[in-house]
Amino acid sequence: MSDAVMVACITGVQAITLAVLGILAKRVGNVRRETTAVRRDTAATREQVVNHHDTNMREENDSRHSETRGWFNDLRRDIGGIREDVRGLRTDHRALTRDHRALTARVDTIQKKGHTDDE
């Protein structure tokens, strides 16, 4: 090979190498920026989770959930009692309605008999 061809090959290889290195540098820069962002977000998250309390956050949440569950159980019992009261009132209402109908029928019968006796 002639010297001119050798110089052209070396120049071409250099250009390709520089292009590849430029692409890699750009990607490494992106990775560094993303890594920095992840570190910043992780630090912010840790600050929120750690919150400098004496108790563990999970234990604290578990105790709060347990307390809330107790409130719901109390509400269920109260609602069950109210439903039982409403059932009793409905039964009483039905009995009164039945008695009212029977009484009305009896009064109607008496009135008809009294009316026919007057004639």
- Is the pLDDT score of 69 beyond 80? yes
Averaged pLDDT, 78-86: 94
- Is the pLDDT score of 116 beyond 70? no
pLDDT on residue 119: 53
Report d(CA 49, CA 51) in Å as an integer.
Answer: 6
Report d(CA 71, CA 65) in Å as an integer.
Answer: 10
pTM score, whole prediction = 0.40
Report d(CA 9, CA 75) in Å as an integer.
Answer: 85
- Is the pLDDT score of 118 beyond 60? no
pLDDT level of residue 117 (50, 70, 90 thresholds): low
